[in-house]
Amino acid sequence: MSISIENMTKSFGGTAVLRGIDLTVESGELVALLGPSGSGKTTLLKIIAGLEWPNSGGLQVNGQDWLGLAAQARRIGFVFQHYALFPHMTVRDNIAFGLTVRPRAERPGKAVIAAKVDELLHFLQIGHLGERYPAQLSGGQRQRVALGRALAIEPTVLLLDEPFGALDAAVRRDLRAWLRRVHEETGSTTIFVTHDQEEAFELADRVVVMGEGKIEQIGNADQIHDHPASPFVARFMGATVELPVMLHAGRAEASGLDASRLPRRALPDGAATLFLRPADITPIADPSGRWEVSRCTSNGAILRLELSDGSQTIPVDLPRRAPEAKGLEQGTRVLLRPEAAAIFPGPRAAQMQAQPIEFPRKEKSL
Amino acid sequence: MSVTALSHAPGQSRAVPRLLIALAFGLTAIFVIAPLAFIFWRAFAEGWGTYVANIADPMTLHAIGLTSLVAVIVVPLNVAFGLAAAWAIARFRFPGRKLLMTMIEIPFSISPIIAGICYLLLYGRQGLLGPWLAAHDLKIMFALPGIILVTMFVTAPFVAREVLPLMQAQGSEQEEAAVTLGARGWQVFSRVTLPNIRWALLYGAVLATARAVGEFGGVSVVSGAIRGQTNTLPLQIELMFNDLNTTGAFAAASTLTVIALVVLIVKAALESRR
């Protein structure tokens, strides 16, 4: 089932939550909507499910207009962040729910429903839990039941809201691989919402990065990591250090900055901003350097430095055994040598609508 | 080294908690147990025969019947109203929502007698709607409809107050899940919403029943206390008491007390299920 969303907008009260979303999801694709809270990703998911309605825009699934269709008629499988299992029903009854509420004429017989539930319990590896109630299950088991309940109606589209948000790290990793398998075996078109980059990149075919009601970038992990399309994506992907620079002949220049590792870019001369990850900055000891180490802590493998130039303090991470780390201590003066960076024209204040220009990321020995 | 079992912090006296517990029991005995015991003692003071005769008094029987009728009409109406109000407030955002929440609580803070007088001024013969009601031969005051109206007023908040916090705490995700699975409105309500709130709903209904049966102040204004016609059980008790028929009054009171005790037991049972 291919999904096509056109110019969709939605506001709650006076607050715009979606500001013109265009997105196409191919049949059988697994897509992640990635963004911080408030980016509108869950609202978009709920609109696809029919639990919210947009102010304007189009939603077509396999060419059929879904905005004219009630949620009940869409046959979607929706998995809620907190599972929303029915606490007064056993696992079996929870999974069977979608089949038992069908109009009498379409409702499968009791034996057929029981067989379907058995099949799902087995498929989801929770065969022994059928008679339990949700309160008697662990988080990971509840997640499986929630997915089983959604899969029972053989959904056209599977939608998951922060599917692993409420689980601890080890369970999360297990379930991720397992969900990927479920997706491949059922062949359904799947969209899930997450704020966890690792989760999005590991699981999805394509990742849609959302910020403040807009799609900022669509791509895979490497594309988004190395070539952020906007300052928003750069920041979201961890480039938290922003340095004001001047561009001359395509090269970034600033006092105390050694930009020799960054390739030249075809950009007009003038003010620009460099976006850097703390781990992509190498401090080079230099007695006349503009930056001074104001703090230095170690976790054994990584040195975390705070560098200050009097007006700005930035974090820098480097491997403790790297040659550059030798002799660094509080008070050492250094130059900054970025190994990879994104650069967007304009001073920092103007960075919200900047055009994308990227630098290839250089590998750094860790 | 010796090991001492400590159930309280060293140096802290056990006298204070013991004193407080004794005080609590003592006050309960004086203010609750003693009067209740006294009711039954007085009701049976002249033996079983008199007791049964007192209860079987046609006027008392009629009062018991009327009070039961009022409860049977009022409680289901208030369950419906409470559910509808709680549903609307918990699930939707609309102008006047906060106001509605406050309005539902008004009967808690207003003396029932004021409600009675308001109804009298509105629906009574000299009241605002009096002439219109008289012209259409509708009798509300000093008749069953008036008693029901006032009883509905005083019991209105119970169900909504019990159900609303639960519905707010649970949110609407389960209902949304049911909708995505294909359930229609009625199926969502009967198979997901209702089972989740059933104990709170029943608890509210039990409290409303107790209040409906025991209501005195508001009803005394609007019923006119016509014996054998509009006299509810609490009013009948007062009349008998004023007639110096104390044994009769206590016998009638004992039936009301039994109802209250049954309600209390049901309430305790429900509380443990919630």
pLDDT range class, residue A356, cuts 50, 70, 90: very low
In the prediction, which pLDDT does A362 show? 39
Ramachandran angles phi, psi of A317, nearest 5°: -110, 130
Instruction: Say yes or no to pLDDT of B84 above 60.
Output: yes
pLDDT range class, residue A353, cuts 50, 70, 90: very low
The three-class DSSP label of residue A187 is coil
**Per-position b or e across A308-326, b if 16+ CB within 10 A of its CB:** ebeeeebebbbeeeeeebe
In a domain, A167, yes or no: yes
Question: Superfamily for B48-273?
Answer: MetI-like (1.10.3720.10)
Q: Are strands A189-194 and A30-34 parallel, antiparallel or unpaired?
A: parallel
Same domain assignment for residues A58 and A166 = yes
Domain harbouring A149, CATH code: 3.40.50.300
Residue type, B156: A
pLDDT range class, residue A350, cuts 50, 70, 90: low
Ramachandran angles phi, psi of A351, nearest 5°: -80, -5
| Residue from A51, A76, A95, A151 to probe the interface with B (highest B Cβ count within 10 Å) | A51
From the list A201, A183, A191, A197, the residue with the least C-alpha distance to A161 is: A191
Angstroms from A188 CA to nearest CA on chain B: 16
In angstroms, the CA A212 to CA A365 distance is 35
Instruction: Say yes or no to pLDDT of B270 above 90.
Output: no
Count CA within 13 A, CB hemisphere, residue A92: 14
- Residues of chain B in contact with residue A87, where contact means CB-CB under 8 angstroms, are 196
In the prediction, which pLDDT does A112 show? 94
Q: Express each pLDDT in B108-144 by its tens digit.
A: 888 999 989 998 898 888 888 888 888 888 888 888 9
Give me the residues paired with residue A189 across strands: A157
Q: Mean pLDDT, chain B, as a whole number?
A: 88
DSSP H stretches of helix in chain B: 15-28, 34-43, 47-55, 58-91, 97-109, 112-123, 130-135, 144-170, 173-180, 185-188, 194-214, 217-223, 233-242, 246-273
Q: Are strands A206-211 and A214-219 parallel, antiparallel or unpaired?
A: antiparallel
pLDDT range class, residue A361, cuts 50, 70, 90: very low
Q: Mean pLDDT, chain A, as a whole number?
A: 89
Domain span holding position A245: 238-353
Domain limits, chain B: 15-44, 48-273
Is the CB of B187 inside 8 Å of chain A's CB atoms?
A: yes
Ramachandran angles phi, psi of A53, nearest 5°: -125, 135
Complete DSSP assignment for A127-147: GGGTT--GGGS-HHHHHHHHH
In a domain, A233, yes or no: no
Q: Kindly compute the dihedral angle of the four CA atoms of residues A52, A56, A59, A63, in this order, to the nearest 10 degrees.
A: 140
Is the CB of B196 inside 8 Å of chain A's CB atoms?
A: yes
Is the CB of B179 inside 8 Å of chain A's CB atoms?
A: yes
Is the CB of B182 inside 8 Å of chain A's CB atoms?
A: yes
Q: Are strands A76-79 and A30-34 parallel, antiparallel or unpaired?
A: unpaired
In a domain, A302, yes or no: yes
Interval A16-20 mean pLDDT: 94
| Residue from B94, B173, B180 to probe the interface with A (highest A Cβ count within 10 Å) | B180
Instruction: Kindly determine whether residue B177 and residue A78, on different chains, have CB atoms separated by under 8 Å.
Output: yes
- Residues of chain A in contact with residue B176, where contact means CB-CB under 8 angstroms, are 51, 78, 80, 84
In a domain, A363, yes or no: no
Could you tell me which chain A residue has the CA closest to the CA of B190?
A: A101
pLDDT range class, residue B2, cuts 50, 70, 90: low
In a domain, A230, yes or no: no
What does the DSSP 8-state code read for residue A257? B
Q: Domain boundary at A177, A192, A224, which? A: A224
Instruction: Kindly determine whether residue A72 and residue B179, on different chains, have CB atoms separated by under 8 Å.
Output: yes
pLDDT range class, residue A354, cuts 50, 70, 90: very low
Q: Express each pLDDT in B148-204 by its tens digit.
A: 999 999 999 999 999 999 999 888 999 999 999 999 989 999 999 999 999 899 989
For B180, the closest of A49, A86, A102 (CB atoms) is A49
Domain harbouring A277, CATH code: 2.40.50.140
Cα separations in angstroms, B91 against A81, B87, B193: 19, 6, 11
Ramachandran angles phi, psi of A150, nearest 5°: -70, -35
Is the CB of B183 inside 8 Å of chain A's CB atoms?
A: yes
**Per-position b or e across A89-128, b if 16+ CB within 10 A of its CB:** bbbbbbbbbbbbbbeeeeeeeeeebeebbeebbebbebee
Of A37-46, A268-277, B223-232, minimum mean pLDDT range: B223-232
Longest dimension (CA), chain A: 84
Interval A86-104 mean pLDDT: 95
Same domain assignment for residues A214 and A249 = no
Cα separations in angstroms, A355 against A238, A350, A351, B148: 19, 11, 9, 72
Record the tokens describing residue A328, joined without a space: 């660094």
Angstroms from A88 CA to nearest CA on chain B: 7
- Residues of chain A in contact with residue B174, where contact means CB-CB under 8 angstroms, are 84-86
Instruction: Say yes or no to pLDDT of A22 above 50.
Output: yes
What does the DSSP 8-state code read for residue B248? H
Interval B45-69 mean pLDDT: 89
Query: Is 0.90 exceeded by the ipTM?
Result: no
Ramachandran angles phi, psi of B57, nearest 5°: -55, 130
Interval A288-310 mean pLDDT: 90
In angstroms, the CA B164 to CA B200 distance is 9
Instruction: Kindly determine whether residue A76 and residue B180, on different chains, have CB atoms separated by under 8 Å.
Output: yes
Q: Of residues A175 and B4, which shows the higher confidence score?
A: A175
In the sheet that A30-34 helps form, which strands lie side by side, from edge to edge? A76-79, A157-161, A189-194, A30-34, A206-211, A214-219
Same domain assignment for residues A247 and A146 = no
Complete DSSP assignment for A67-102: TTS-HHHH-EEEE-TT----TTS-HHHHHHHHHHTS
Angstroms from A100 CA to nearest CA on chain B: 9
Interval A79-105 mean pLDDT: 94
Q: Domain boundary at A224, A250, A273, which? A: A224
In angstroms, the CA A230 to CA A210 distance is 11
- Residues of chain A in contact with residue B195, where contact means CB-CB under 8 angstroms, are 86, 88
Q: Is the dihedral of CA A313, A319, A322, A327 positive or negative?
A: positive
Instruction: Say yes or no to pLDDT of A284 above 70.
Output: yes
Most confident of A158-162, A169-173, B8-12: A158-162
In a domain, A316, yes or no: yes
In the prediction, which pLDDT does A355 show? 37
In a domain, A242, yes or no: yes
Please tell me the total count of domains within chain A.
2
Residue type, B24: A
From the list A309, A277, A315, A311, the residue with the least C-alpha distance to A296 is: A315
In angstroms, the CA A328 to CA B73 distance is 84
Same domain assignment for residues A9 and A72 = yes
DSSP H stretches of helix in A270-353: none
Q: Domain boundary at A195, A224, A253, which? A: A224
Q: Are strands A157-161 and A189-194 parallel, antiparallel or unpaired?
A: parallel
In the sheet that A342-345 helps form, which strands lie side by side, from edge to edge? A251-253, A241-248, A270-276, A342-345
- Residues of chain B in contact with residue A101, where contact means CB-CB under 8 angstroms, are 178, 181-184, 187, 191
Is residue A79 a contact partner of residue A165, using CB atoms and an 8 Å limit? no
In the prediction, which pLDDT does A165 show? 79
Is residue A153 a contact partner of residue A107, using CB atoms and an 8 Å limit? no
From the list A315, A237, A311, A251, the residue with the least C-alpha distance to A283 is: A315
| Residue from A69, A72, A159, A191 to probe the interface with B (highest B Cβ count within 10 Å) | A72
Ramachandran angles phi, psi of A274, nearest 5°: -100, 130
